[in-house]
Amino acid sequence: MPTLRWTTVNTPAPDTEAFVMTSRFEVRSLKDVPRFFAQSLSAWKQVSGAPGAYGASLIAQPLKRTFWTLSAWEDKAALYAYARTEPHKSIMQGLRPTTKGSVFTFWEVPAADLPIDWTDARRRLADQERTGA
């Protein structure tokens, strides 16, 4: 399972909050995996120059056709600005037809708690998927 471990982009002040997002994408077929993985890497690399980014991680499970992302941001506005910026915007629009399903969840943590543990992120995604809340 290829994992891009947590990479700190900017170190927040310890007395601030961080806005965290985690996601899970499942692609429709194994033939879509290489393209999805390559495009995911491009979007992940974009985080390193994104204003307001604190850090990110990516897990790819190619044989399960599943990709997981985890990132922390200065605030919701910084995350959404990144999502609307190229190449992320076009990448996500282009990959949408290849995805079978996706789940996102968001929360805030004290910046001193970064990086977020994948166990916590996956639990939150499972809760989101189960409750739809």
Domain-by-domain residue ranges, the chain? 3-113
User: Which CATH architecture does the domain made up of 3-113 adopt?
Assistant: 2-Layer Sandwich (3.30)
DSSP 67-104: EEEEEEESSHHHHHHHHTSTTHHHHHHHHGGGEEEEEE
pTM of the predicted protein model: 0.91
Amino acid at 61: Q
Rounded to a whole number, what is the largest CA-CA distance in the chain?
Answer: 45
pLDDT tens digits along 68-107: 999 999 999 999 999 999 999 988 888 888 899 899 999 9
122: left (phi over 0), alpha (psi -120 to 50) or beta: alpha
